[in-house]
Each structure stands twice: as C-alpha cells, then as structure tokens.
Amino acid sequence: MKLTPMECRVVRLVSLGCTVKQVAVILGRSVHTVDNHKTRAMRKLGVHNVAQLTRQAIKLGISSLDDRLNLQEQSLVRQLEQAKQPLLKF
C-alpha cells in the first residue's frame, strides 16, 4: 500500500528523531492528526516501532542516512524547546 504525501512527511520527520509534538509544530498540524498519520503509515508498512519505521523510511527513499532537519525545521523545534523551558526567577 502506498503512503500519502503527508504520511511520507511524517515518517521522514519521525525517522529523523522528532517527537509527534515536534512534527505537529513543523507541519502546522495538530498532535492528534500527526499521530494518526504516523499510525496509518506504520500499519501500511507493517512496522511496530520507530526503529523499524526508520529502516523502512531509508529503504523506501523517504529519508536517507545523510538526511537532516532543514534550517526552518530546526528553528521550529528550537522554538518549541525554548517554550518548554521554565523561566528562571532571581
């Protein structure tokens, strides 16, 4: 079964180590929507964990060993991480 373009985007980002929440921010979708795309993609590919998903992403050319988050994706992940940091009170 073939993956949709959105499922491919989600698989690529998850295979690069992003959490579902990070993928949601990068793609501008809800966490629930991203989780549904990830679950459907894993079912279609017959995998049961992220390690297997990553292997399939590389095998299918969705991601590669050289693939990295682009600058915009990195920036969005950084913003999310900074938003989670507690403010220091002096």
The pLDDT tens digits for 5-54 are: 999 999 999 999 999 999 999 999 999 999 999 999 999 999 999 999 99
Structure tokens at 50: 């992220």
For position 13, which CATH number holds? Answer: 1.10.10.10
Residue 90 resides in a domain: no
The reply to whether 37 falls in a domain is yes
Overall number of domains in the chain:
1
Please give the pLDDT value at position 83: 85
Check residues 80 and 10 and name the one with the higher pLDDT: 10
**Domain with 36 in it:** 5-84
pLDDT confidence of residue 37: 98
